[in-house]
Structures are given as structure tokens and as C-alpha cells.
Structure 1
Amino acid sequence: MEEIEKVFCVPGESYLPVLDALYDATFIQVISARHEGGASFMAEGYAKSTLKPGVVFATRGVGATNLSIGVHTAYQDSTPMVVFLGQVHSQFRGREGFQEIDLEKYFAPITKWAVEVKDAKRMPELVQRAFKIAKSGRPGPVIVSLPEDVLPIQEEMIFRPAMNIPKPAPSETEINHVKQLLNQTEHPLIIAGGGVKNAQAELELLHFAEKYSIPVMASFRRHDVFPNDHRLYVGHLGLGVNHNILETVKEADLIIALGTRLSEVTTQDYSLFDNKQKLIHIDISFDTLGKVYTPEIGILADAKEALKALFSLKIQDKWTEWARNRRNVYEKVSRLRVTKTDVINKHVIAKLVEKLPTDSLLTNDAGNFAGWLHSFYQFKEKHTYVGPTSGAMGYGMPAALGAKLAYPEKTVVSLSGDGGFMMTVQELETAVRYDIPIIALVFNNEMYGTIRMHQEMHYPNRVMATDLGGVSFSGMAKELGANGYQVHTIEQFESAFLKALTHRYITVIEILTEKEQISVTSTIEDIRQR
């Protein structure tokens, strides 16, 4: 009923009856991963790409805790996911049975719903409710706990058709209020988030912004919500944003927050707005409205329905000059020019821009290396970026595997640092086993770079625990059956990258980078001097 085509797992004896049932379900491809964390990242990346629930299975407490990082990512990223977890026999509960955890309590803070199926007859009801909850409102993860003694019971399973997800629209009163506020504003700004992507409302946002000449910013790691090369795109609100781009928000007198929860990063530690600015907050989740900032008007609505309703407003276009000015600022600070003295990171992004088809899909891990991607890469089409707003290390490569399974015809590239890549590197074997041909870029500076940066800010010259040992990721890739290249120069990178694009086989390109250039704008010595 839910039209699930792929599920991800690490097998466990606690849910063997489910695995046996999947043996007969030939219409579902089962991707068996090397680690539950990798499996959950794959499911999350797949879900974020398809906009359908990702499904992942794992065993009792040990498997469940391993995959919890992917559950947390799905929760913070508003990604629909249904997680089925084996559970100990009901007779053993409360005795600290083998691998026992109270899964409902454990996952309650990071899921939309967690439920244990205690009666086999209720399996259809609870599973269908799990999918409905995962998809409706602000999407997110749901946990279904499967006790070992419930799974073998044979009962007639009657499933109802999948429920249509409600898509509320603004009321006439709310539309009139928005019109009133827009008529009074001089510098409006749209901040567009994941709710636009989940509602598949990118085109409606484009038409709305163009009709009224309102500039658009993307919230944290939602770069592909609006074409970056469009005259109305004015930047991304993420980590290490150029202060000139932040000035656009500070100069705006009316913020239209569309499908964004106004997270800590998007709002720059909740410091970006002031009491003089008016806020229109439109979101599918009632709990999101007013949670961080009290809006002048909060509208509970699906982003697409809201934009269609707002498109009918009769308002004179008076913001063309404001939009042009802020676009000029964005172009000035984000224009990609490379010289021989620039670090290889920037050259790599330039080659991605030059060589990749515009519909290529990029994923990234957490780390300072992503600063070059976020600052200089232009996302021109929808469904071309998958990144973790949770900031989870180890995400990039397994998420790319999920994204490639969602869009097998697209070129999929992951970007990782050496620290994050090592956390889920075992999933390279999964990629080889299932022939999932992604290109994995690893920026190797032999340290936890982001943590080192903050360490130097607060405790200069006192390096502790952030240096890493030398690892040949290209050699490791070859040992696992993938193609592997180690490069020192941009010429070497270009050669390896072109081979990867041509061969269409799982490829790891290890890019050796210097420790000193710790971020896009600073060296370690710069930070120490400050």
C-alpha cells in the first residue's frame, strides 16, 4: 500500500520472520549494510531524495542504538522514515533481557511516534499509522518495536489504502493580513526551508518570488530550494556565512519564513532577527509556529498551497531595486574565481561546477571542508542537494548511496572529511556489493578540522585530541573493490574525476589538503593571532 521499493538493514535474529517474509517480496530490494548507522543514513538519504518514507530494519538494543544517529538526523531534517526494530521476547521484558532497551522511551525524544506491537492482529493498523505519521505534518521518523514472540504469529493481515496526506491552505483572513503587511514593507525577504522541498513547491516559490520581485534565501543546508543562479537568490543561511549576506537579513523589514523551523544555524544562534522586523511564518507544523520567534502572523499551511494562494495577491511590484542590490552583494562574495595560490579545496569546487551536469546530486558530511561547497557551488536545479542539518559526521557517503538508489540516472557525488569518512567507510563494501556507482571525495588533512578550529579559537596553541593518523583512503577503497585515487594537485584531481565520470563505478578520490587552511576564510595562524 505504501509502494515501498527499497529497505535498508543490518540483519538480526530478533526479526528473522520479517527477513523471511522479505525473501518472498521480490518487488522490494533489501540493502544489507555493514553498520546500522550506515543503514540509517542510507535510508535517510533515500527518503530525502525521493520524498517518500525511508525504511530501515535493525535488531534490539544494540542495533537500535547504532542506528539512532540516522533517526536523530531524520528528526532534525524533517525526513519521513519508518524504523522497524526487533525487540526481546515479551516474557523477558523488565528483566534486563539480552540486548533489552525500552525502545519506546529511548526514541521518544527524537521521533514523531514510537510504538510497540504487542498484538499481531494490530500489526496492519499500527504499521499504517506509522507511515501516516511519518509523512504527515512536519515529516519525521517513527519507530515500530517488534517483540520476538509477536512476529511468528500468523494472522490475517488486512491493510487499508494509504491515506492521503492533508495539505492545509491559508484562510482568506490570513491572506488579507499578508497582503496588508506586504503593502507596508520596503525590504521583504523570503527564507525558504525544507517544507518547500517536502511540498514539492519549488516551482511555485519561483513564480511567487518572480511575480513580486522578492529576494529569496535558503535556510541551512536547503541550497537547492531555489536556483542559485537566479536574479532573486541572495544567499544561504548556514555556518560561516559571509557577513555581507547576513546584512541582507538584518536590513529586511519583513521576513517571510516559508517551511523553515528557523533553526539555531539558520538564525545564527537565534541572533539574526530583531524586534523591529515583522515575521510571517508559514509552516505545515503548528508546533513550529512561534516556537523560536513570535510571528506577526503564523499560518498553518502546506507550502505549495500557501504559495498558490499568495500568488493571487494584487500588490504593486516595488522591490526590484532592493532585490537587485542584495543579489549584487551575493554575487560579489560568492563568485568563484580561482588562482594558482588558492587551496586545492576551492579548485575542486571549480572543477565540480565545470564538469558536473546541472542535475547532479551532491551530498556532504559534517566538517569545514563543506564551507567551500556552500560558498561557491551553484545549485541550479531542485533535488540536487542532500545534507544533514543535524550536523552528523559519517553521513555523506552512505547518504549518497541512498540518493543514488533513488536517482540511478543521476551523477551522485559525496563530499567528506577524513574524520567523517572513516566513521562509515565500511559502507564502501556495501556500494561495491550492490553496484551503487557514486563518486566519493575525501578531503584528507589528518585531523578533526572543525573541532580544531574551535579549539584554536578558545585555546590557541593547545592542540589536544584533534590530530588524526595517516590513512590511505584510496588504498582502502581498492582493497574493498572500489576504484581509488590519491591526488595532491588539481591536475591529478581533474584526471581522476574525469575517469570516475566516464567509468560509472564506485570511486573514491582522496584529496590531500593542508592543515593550515582550516576554513574558507581563516588559517590556523590567523585564528591564533586573533
Structure 2
Amino acid sequence: MKVMTAAKAIVECMKREGVEKVFCVPGESYLPVLDALYDEESIQVISARHEGGAAFMAEGYAKAALKPGVVLATRAVGASNLAIGVHTAYQDSTPMVVFLGQVSSKFRGREGFQEVDLDRMFQHIAKWAVEINDAERVPEIVGRAFRIAQTGRPGPVVVSLPEDVLPAEAEMHFGPVTTIPRPTPSDNELIQVNSLLRTCEKPLIIAGGGIKSARAEAALLRFANAYQLPVAVSFRRHDVFPHDHPLFVGHLGLGTAKSILDTVRQADLILAVGTRLSEVTTQDYSIISPEQKLIHVDIDFDTLGKVYSPDIGIVADAKEALTALLNLELDVKWRDWAERRRKAYEEASALTVSDDDAINKHVIHIMANTVGKDSLITNDAGNFAGWLHTYYPFREEHTYIGPTSGAMGYGMPAAIGAKLADPNKTVISLSGDGGFMMTAQELETAVRYQIPIICLVFNNNMYGTIRMHQEIHYPKKVIATDLGDVSYKDLAASMGAEGYVVDDPSGFEQALAKAVQNNKPTLIEILTDREQISVSKTIEQLRNK
């Protein structure tokens, strides 16, 4: 028991929960918390240029560190700016605790300066949203916030902080730090799984983000090897299973090759582990049919049956479940099936290049052959990511971070957070020119804190993904998707970062080598062909379909 201010108690809770980095844009509404952070040497405060950037940094940090990201902002204006990061954390199942300054409780209900009901505002896109009105309840509520963010299906929690509560003193009683429950399947559930697997001839594992949250990559590998089960990964969860493994059969995302999707369609049993079977993973909920058997394992009760009703639904931690499933008694009769589906993946994803290929593919080829095991890749939203998703061979766990929410502006700030979480990794972000400019100011944050990330910006002077859909649905009627000329090399230099511009593979290879060697915040602008709108189509081909 200690007497302290609410603000100091919030920081004490952070310290007890092992928080080492806090991201923010400073605001007068929560100055007492910033003052308390000034006095806490074990926590570094990273001040961003925009609340959206700060939230993406916290989300990327959380994914890389496998611990909650913490972000602070002020009242309605800052809260609105960072809402995109909260939504991303919600859809990506990323643990995050958000502290928002709030108007004084004495002014509530009068439409005070920058007033909004923050707890109500975030209820739909957070696991829990709450306002602290009593200083003495800080340890209880903040402790609960960290617990909710990390347990079950992880996600964001929003805590509203009225500014008159923060300097108030009270006797603080701090409880134990969060321990994460790891439920395991029951004996009866294991018997049911064993029985159902015995009846199938074409089984398939779909592995999702729950593998990452549970640190179950090794367990998944052991399980797949034990029973020779082919493995596909859900949207933007590339690194949960090594792509060079003979049982890996593809990534279920945007623009996935038909032959890889056919693997899902042809399977007679799907074992979904740690995935919510999202719209993108299931191709608009179209590639899993009622005729297929479904075993769904997830840490969250509400996820089971939310999209597809499972034949067997198991609430369990992914690592615990996969370990328990190693005791099955199966006659493996699907080796030929696994080999065929592996061959289909290899044919669709072969990373060979020729002079006729777009520079985008050459970039991925060069990265695949030069970036080592100590690397981590983040990406923004956009068609440029199609080349990464289709061709880059992720061979190691914890080497990829991407937004399943499809948020533009994500890639570079997430790379900053990831680099802070794992300084020994070479961290490379991929962005289009449209998305990059949404958070481009955060490159200065990287420079100010000497965070040596490498930013690749694929520049085709347009919102490429939207232009693609525009050409599909309204060919030749181009509106609102063209963008102006920006020298990203000069923009980087103006912020104190290294900058390069390239338009051919050899130029990119040289620039990337320099960026890795220099160990400074670096931007490489890649001039790309506007006509090559996606991995498989040109604009002219879309118009003449």
C-alpha cells in the first residue's frame, strides 16, 4: 500500500506489467502522467508526430515483442486520430492499452473543450473501454485493462483519464500482475478429433495469428510433421510456418493464386487453429463449404461458430492444443495429397525473374536472396504487397508484421515499433506512395530517436489498389486516384534520413546494401510502372477483360 497520485499509480502499474516503451503525442490533458513517466527511468517515451502513427508504432511493437503496446493521446482530437490503430489492434488481435486524456469530470456533459464520451466512442472497436473516476481505483482498473488486453483473444483496451483525477492522491493497493490462462483440450475433445481425422483423406491445417500469440510455431511444426498434414496460413500471418517446408501449401490472402485456393476447396477436413477465418482468409467466406468437416481451435469462445459452425469446436491455447494433439493415433494416408498441394504452391510462387518482370518482383527476389534470418518485414496496405505475399519465402518465425485490418499508413510506423522491440533485427517496411504519405512524418521520429529502419516506397503516383478496382468496375473512368509527384528521396533527406531513388533492379540492390550497412533511418524510393497495376494484371488487361 502506497499513497501516490493517480498519474503515478498508472505508471507504477505499467512498470509492474513490464512495460518498457510508451508511444504518444503529448497533450495537456494528461500532463501528470507524462511527468510521472519522466521520473520512471525504466520506461522510454517515444513521442510521435501524429497519434495515428503513435498507435501503429505501439501495435507493431506489441506484435514484435509479444507483449502489450501502450499508447497515450489527448481527449477527443488525439483519440480520434489514433482510432485507426485501435481498430487495427482489434482486427489483428493485438494486445494494446490506450490511455486517453479526458476533460475534467466537473466539465463533463457541458460539451467542454474537446469533450467526447471516450468510453462510448471506443466500445465497438475495443475489448473494453472504461473511464477512471476515482483515483484509488487506478490499480484495479489499469490492472484489469492489462489483463483483458492479453487474455483470451488479445486486443486493445481504452482507458479514459479525466484530468482532475490524475493529480488526486489516494492509498493505492496493487494486485498481482497479469498471468495468461492457457486452456487445453479435454480428453473427450481429443478423442473426437482423433475419430474425425481418421475418416478424412484430404486434411488441411489453416494456421492463424493465435499461433503467434501462443508462441506455438514450434508446436505447429511438430504436429504437422508428426501426421504429415499440409499447412496453409491465414491472411498476413505468413511467418507462423516456414515456407520452405515440404508441408507448406500457401498463404490465404488477397490475390492468392487459384491453385492455392483449390487446396482449401478440395480439402475434406479443415483444422483451423488460432484463426477467426476472416473475410480475406476465406475469400469472402466462399472457399469453405458445409460438406467439409471443420475442427476449429481458438482461445476465444465467441470465435467458434461466428463464421462457420464447426463439427468440433475447442476453446484452447494454440500451443497447448497442438501439444495435446501429438498423442493422436492416426494412420497417415494423405501423403500424396500433401505432396500435390505443395507442388501447386511451388508452381504458383516460384521466385524466378526475367527482364520482362516488373521491378516489384525483382525487389522481392533481391530481398529474398540478401536479407538474412535476422530480419523482419512490415508492410502497408496496397497492391505492391501482392508481390511480397506471393513470392517472399518466410522461413523463420517472428519475421513478418502486417495489418489484417488493411490499414494504410501502417508499414513504416509499425517498423519503428518492431525495431524498438527487437533492435538486433534488420527491419524493412514496404509501402506504396499513397499509404506512405499518410504517416510519412514518422520518419522524423525514427531519425530523432535514432531508430534505423529501412523504408521501401513503391511509387506509381496513384492509389493503385483503388485504381485497380476502378478499372474493373468502371474502366477508363479515372477519378480521384491519381497522385502528384513527390521526391521521397528529398523528403527523407529533409528529415535527416538517408534517401535513394531507383528504377531498376541493380540500383535497388546497391541501395539496399548501403541501407543495411549504414544502419541509419533510410528510405528507398522505387519508381514502378503505373501500367503494372497488380501481380497478374496490367491496366490495359483489366480494361479489355
TM value normalised by structure 1 = 1.00
Residue 21 of structure 1: aligned partner: 36
Residue 269 of structure 1: aligned partner: 284
Whether 1:85 and 2:63 are equivalent positions in the alignment is no
Paired AA for residue 394 in structure 1: G
Whether 1:148 and 2:163 are equivalent positions in the alignment is yes
8 A Cα contact 2:503 2:528, kept in partner: yes
Whether 1:411 and 2:426 are equivalent positions in the alignment is yes
Paired AA for residue 268 in structure 2: D
Q: CA deviation at 1:486?
A: 0.7
Residue 319 of structure 1: aligned partner: 334
Residue 372 of structure 2: aligned partner: 357
Q: CA deviation at 1:431?
A: 0.2
Residue 453 of structure 2: aligned partner: 438
8 A Cα contact 1:34 1:426, kept in partner: yes
Q: CA deviation at 1:161?
A: 2.0
Residue 73 of structure 1: aligned partner: 88
Give the counterpart of 1:307 among 305, 318, 322: 322
Residue 223 of structure 1: aligned partner: 238
Residue 474 of structure 1: aligned partner: 489
8 A Cα contact 1:212 1:319, kept in partner: no
Distance 1:358 1:27 in 2: 30
Q: CA deviation at 1:16?
A: 0.3
8 A Cα contact 1:345 1:372, kept in partner: yes
8 A Cα contact 2:236 2:404, kept in partner: yes
Q: CA deviation at 1:155?
A: 1.8
Whether 1:375 and 2:367 are equivalent positions in the alignment is no
Give the counterpart of 1:108 among 98, 123, 143: 123
Distance 1:127 1:204 in 2: 33
Q: CA deviation at 1:432?
A: 0.2
Distance 2:259 2:177 in 1: 47
Whether 1:278 and 2:290 are equivalent positions in the alignment is no
Residue 50 of structure 1: aligned partner: 65
Distance 1:269 1:112 in 2: 25
**Structure 1: 4+ residue segments shifted above 6 A:** none
Whether 1:240 and 2:252 are equivalent positions in the alignment is no
Residue 10 of structure 2: aligned partner: none
Residues 272-296 of structure 1 show CA distances to partners (whole Å, capped at 9, x for unaligned) of: 1111101000000000000000000
Q: CA deviation at 1:158?
A: 2.5
Paired AA for residue 95 in structure 2: P
The 3-state SS of whatever aligns with 1:437 is coil
Q: CA deviation at 1:359?
A: 3.1
8 A Cα contact 2:430 2:457, kept in partner: yes
Distance 2:493 2:179 in 1: 47
Whether 1:62 and 2:47 are equivalent positions in the alignment is no
Q: CA deviation at 1:156?
A: 2.7
Give the counterpart of 1:298 among 309, 313, 317: 313
Residues 225-272 of structure 1 show CA distances to partners (whole Å, capped at 9, x for unaligned) of: 000110000000000100000000011000000000000000000011
Residue 187 of structure 1: aligned partner: 202
8 A Cα contact 2:273 2:318, kept in partner: yes
Give the counterpart of 2:414 among 389, 399, 406: 399
Distance 2:309 2:539 in 1: 40
Residue 438 of structure 2: aligned partner: 423
Distance 1:189 1:263 in 2: 17
Residues 127-156 of structure 1 show CA distances to partners (whole Å, capped at 9, x for unaligned) of: 000000000000000000000110011223
8 A Cα contact 1:8 1:43, kept in partner: yes
8 A Cα contact 1:358 1:379, kept in partner: no
Distance 1:431 1:232 in 2: 39
Distance 1:421 1:475 in 2: 14
Distance 1:121 1:163 in 2: 19
8 A Cα contact 2:374 2:424, kept in partner: no
8 A Cα contact 1:179 1:313, kept in partner: yes
Gaps of 5+ in 2: 1-15
Residue 9 of structure 2: aligned partner: none
What does residue range 197-216 of structure 1 map to in structure 2 within 5 Å?
197-216=212-231
Residue 342 of structure 1: aligned partner: 357
Give the counterpart of 1:126 among 132, 138, 141: 141
Residue 157 of structure 1: aligned partner: 172
Distance 2:532 2:254 in 1: 17
The 3-state SS of whatever aligns with 2:332 is coil
The 3-state SS of whatever aligns with 2:194 is helix
Q: CA deviation at 1:319?
A: 1.6
8 A Cα contact 2:239 2:394, kept in partner: yes
Q: CA deviation at 1:416?
A: 0.1
Q: CA deviation at 1:318?
A: 1.6
Distance 1:455 1:398 in 2: 29
Distance 2:358 2:306 in 1: 41
Q: CA RMSD in A?
A: 0.6
Residue 501 of structure 1: aligned partner: 516
Distance 1:488 1:182 in 2: 51
Distance 2:521 2:232 in 1: 34
Distance 1:163 1:53 in 2: 11
Distance 2:293 2:149 in 1: 32
Distance 2:165 2:281 in 1: 44
Gaps of 5+ in 1: none
Q: CA deviation at 1:323?
A: 0.6
- Counting matched residue pairs gives 530
The 3-state SS of whatever aligns with 1:155 is strand
Paired AA for residue 433 in structure 1: R
Q: Between the two proteins, what is the percent identity of the paired residues?
A: 68
Residues 149-187 of structure 1 show CA distances to partners (whole Å, capped at 9, x for unaligned) of: 100112232212213111111111110000011000000
Distance 1:365 1:157 in 2: 42
Paired AA for residue 392 in structure 1: A
The 3-state SS of whatever aligns with 2:161 is strand
Distance 1:389 1:495 in 2: 32
Residues 175-226 of structure 1 show CA distances to partners (whole Å, capped at 9, x for unaligned) of: 0000011000000000000001100000000000000000000000000000
The 3-state SS of whatever aligns with 2:170 is coil
TM value normalised by structure 2 = 0.97
8 A Cα contact 1:217 1:234, kept in partner: yes
8 A Cα contact 2:362 2:505, kept in partner: yes
Paired AA for residue 382 in structure 1: E
Distance 1:163 1:112 in 2: 16
Q: CA deviation at 1:321?
A: 1.2
Q: CA deviation at 1:495?
A: 1.0
Residues 39-80 of structure 1 show CA distances to partners (whole Å, capped at 9, x for unaligned) of: 000000000111100000000000000000000000000000
The 3-state SS of whatever aligns with 2:428 is strand
Distance 2:302 2:489 in 1: 46
Residues 314-365 of structure 1 show CA distances to partners (whole Å, capped at 9, x for unaligned) of: 1122221111110011001101010011110000000100110023100000
Paired AA for residue 121 in structure 1: E
Paired AA for residue 298 in structure 1: G
Distance 1:155 1:432 in 2: 40
